[in-house]
Amino acid sequence: MKNINNFLSKTFLVKPKAFSIQMLLAFLLSAYFSYGQRPNDDRVLLQGFYWEAAADNPGNWYNIVGSLSSEISNIGIDMIWLPPPSDAGSLEGYLPRELNNFSNNYGNLSEHTTMLSALNNNGIEPIADIVINHRVGNTNWVDFENPQWNTDAITSGDEVWSQPAYFNTFPRGNNDTGTPYEAARDIDHTQTYVRNSIKQFLNNLKAIGYKGWRYDFVHGFSPSYFTEYNNASNPTYSVGENFNSNKQVVQDWIDASGSNAFDFPTYFTLKSTIRDNNYSYLAFNGQASGGIGWDPRNYTTFVENHDTPRYDTPNNVLNGNNVGQTYAYLLTHPGVPCIYWPHLFDWGATPKQQIIDLVGIRKAAGIHSQSALEIVTAQNGLYAAIVTGNNHRVAVKMGPNSWSPQGNWELVASGNNYAVWKEGSTTPPSTFTVYAYNYQTAYTWNDAQQATSGGWPGASMTDDGDGWYRTTVPGDCTNIIFSNNGSGQTADLVACDDNPYYYQGQFYPNKPNTGGNSITVYHRYRTHAYTWDSSGATSGGWPGTAMESLGNGWYRHTVNNTDCTNVVFSNNGGSQTSDLYTCSNEPYYYNGQWNANPPGSLPSSRTANTVQELHPIANIEPQIYPNPFNQGASVQLVVQQPKANVTVEIMGRTGKGATAFNGTLPKGHHTITLDNETARLKVGLYFCKITVGNDTFIRKIVKQ
């Protein structure tokens, strides 16, 4: 499909840019009139197809992409480059036939627009693959419909004129302004009516939901026409395919067109780096050797696209074991990075997770298209660089040789031949104390699977004399197993500085009452409590004991000879809760959550030693229960205004996140279930970001 004469040569031409006054003026004008190339652009692009996508999924590709739109958005991807949108004479769409017919081999018009709506609704900008250098007719080489063009829309030098003699009777267009393309009719963009119909075609695409353009085979006609088409359609993003390893050629097209371009020089460099294990290729004169070393604002970096596995066979060196390091480069470096669909969705769990983690790191650091790049070293077996984002710096290392940054850095991602660190913007506590009831030994280890308390069963804990034992551990969270010198061990746990007390299978922020006398549980609106422990029911048969009414909707029940209890609340067997568990430090159950203090109105006759005075609703902050959790958890929040925009996001330390809720809620108490998001999380520490109107709350949550 592409002219491959230029890129079969694998030279890495990095000659200095030769600026004349005319070139400088053209550059300044193109920068002024550029479309979609935002200063400090922090967007990430996904190529939303591959060459065989239509063949492998006949008529169903749009449905597949639409169904994954939420997942794509949660990864942190901002734009998606979709296949050619028009009816075509080729399966893949690169021989366009009826430009304004948006049913094609990827799906019909309804499926097409449904996908675009799903993407836009998830905050992803759809980018159309625009093929306007060439075109084919409906029944023969020259009958163009929808829009209708005459034969003068074909350049005079097109090879159709060497075909049967009757073609010589048709009017011809002007000379080609670019590289000819043999498989279809070359289009004459000097014709005003042709350009006007192309502008209408682009605006028709915007009307169904597209936001920007990826221009195919851009050396097929003069770059000035791309400026005209972008002026007429105002895309949010414009990028051209100039398949050339010579970055002077690609840069000249950028300067003349005012559009972004794919960084083929970086592509060739990365592939050769992996092939030769020579990371010196990645630097030239202290700068990145690809296009991003000259003009990072206007380059889109990538490591593979739909064409390269077919055309660039000498450089087919990537596999699931080494592709991670190429994305470590793309997603930590300047430019706008483009992820290839098969690498994310088809190459297995490891490359996918590596890409997801690296996108999160880029977003958390605030790395953008013009982030400052400092190359520390580039040599055989090792590349190291430091990149400055809006939020903090990151360091990246590629290659088999050892290297790490000096100073306050935290390792946030690693894989075969790569590692990424973030510079500490805040210093976590160097140590904290963790407590366990009736456990005397603690074995601890960090996320790198390194023991931090010696060999099993770990360190002996200090006896506080009341059944509690304590030990000091590094960091603000730690992996931990409690035992009694190796016997009666717990499962693998995660302890954090804000939930340091471990008692009967659960961590608590404050020391639980272990007196063993009784626990009084409270519930609002439900009248019966069924309680039990390991030996059986402690409140009679189902539905348990009728609770004491305290007035104003509150009821209470006391369970003797225990500090903790299992309980199900109900209305005499109806409207029952799920199986619950609580201890004496959190006896109040309301709106799906246990609380240490009563979260709703209680009668004024309650004394100060049984309940604290309540704050007004305006001061109630969102709560998460249970925390720590095993699978599911929920957020309890209060909307004070008549209605408010509410979002709930789950984020890891690297910044990657998933949106659990995004919508408008009316005034009152609400429960938002996190089960779908938390079930997919690995054991560890996460953050829950809750936004209610103009207020934002961040909560630590721990999955055990």
Please enumerate in sequence order all residues whose Cβ is within 8 A of that of 614, keeping only pairs 6 or more positions apart, or say none. 597, 598, 599, 600, 601, 602
The residue to which tokens 């900008």 are assigned: 125
Whole-angstrom distance, CA of residue 122 vs CA of residue 138? 37
**What pTM value is reported for the model?**
0.60
The count of other CB atoms within 10 Å of the CB of residue 28 is 11
Active site residue 216: yes
Three-state secondary structure call for residue 525: coil
Strands 212-215 and 125-130: parallel
Omega before 666 cis (within 30°)? no
**374 φ, ψ to 5°?**
-115, 110
Taking the alpha carbons of 691, 697, 700, 704 in that order, is the dihedral positive or negative?
A: negative
Block means of pLDDT (10 residues each) for the chain, length 704 residues? 30 34 40 57 97 94 96 94 97 96 97 97 96 92 92 89 68 92 92 98 97 96 96 96 94 94 96 94 95 96 93 82 96 98 94 95 94 96 96 95 90 93 68 90 85 90 85 88 91 86 84 71 86 79 89 81 81 80 76 72 36 31 74 78 83 68 82 76 76 74 76
Alpha helices in 208-263 (DSSP H): 224-233, 247-257
Return the DSSP state at 161.
G
Whole-angstrom distance, CA of residue 704 vs CA of residue 697? 23
> Which residue ranges make up each domain of the chain?
79-262, 372-423, 431-508, 617-704
Closest CA to 622 of 642, 606, 644, 607: 644
Catalytic residue among 241, 295, 423, 586: 241
Total count of residues recorded for the chain: 704
Q: Class of 431-508 per CATH?
A: mainly beta
Q: Class of 372-423 per CATH?
A: mainly beta
Please enumerate in sequence order all residues whose Cβ is within 8 A of that of 139, keeping only pairs 6 or more positions apart, or say none. none
The arrangement of secondary structure in 617-704, i.e. its CATH architecture, is Sandwich (2.60)
Q: What pLDDT does residue 166 have?
A: 60
Whole-angstrom distance, CA of residue 155 vs CA of residue 45? 34
Q: What pLDDT does residue 599 have?
A: 67
Question: Can you list the positions of beta strands (E) in 454-600?
Answer: 459-460, 462-463, 468-474, 477-483, 493-496, 501-503, 506-508, 518-524, 528-533, 536-537, 545-546, 548-551, 554-560, 564-570, 580-583, 588-590, 593-595
The residue to which tokens 């904290």 are assigned: 432
Catalytic residue among 216, 295, 423, 649: 216
Domains 79-262 and 431-508 share a fold: no
Please enumerate in sequence order all residues whose Cβ is within 8 A of that of 260, keeping only pairs 6 or more positions apart, or say none. 34, 36, 37, 237, 238, 239, 240, 254, 298, 299, 300, 336
Q: What pLDDT does residue 249 have?
A: 94
Task: Tell me yes or no: is domain 79-262 CATH 3.40.50.720.
Answer: no
Contacts 24+ apart (CB under 8 A), 346-351: 347/320, 347/323, 348/320, 350/320, 350/324, 350/415, 351/320, 351/323, 351/324, 351/327
Question: Can you list the positions of beta strands (E) in 390-517?
Answer: 393-398, 409-415, 418-423, 431-437, 441-445, 459-460, 462-463, 468-474, 477-483, 493-496, 501-503, 506-508
Alpha helices in 573-618 (DSSP H): none
Whole-angstrom distance, CA of residue 95 vs CA of residue 83? 12
Active site residue 228: no
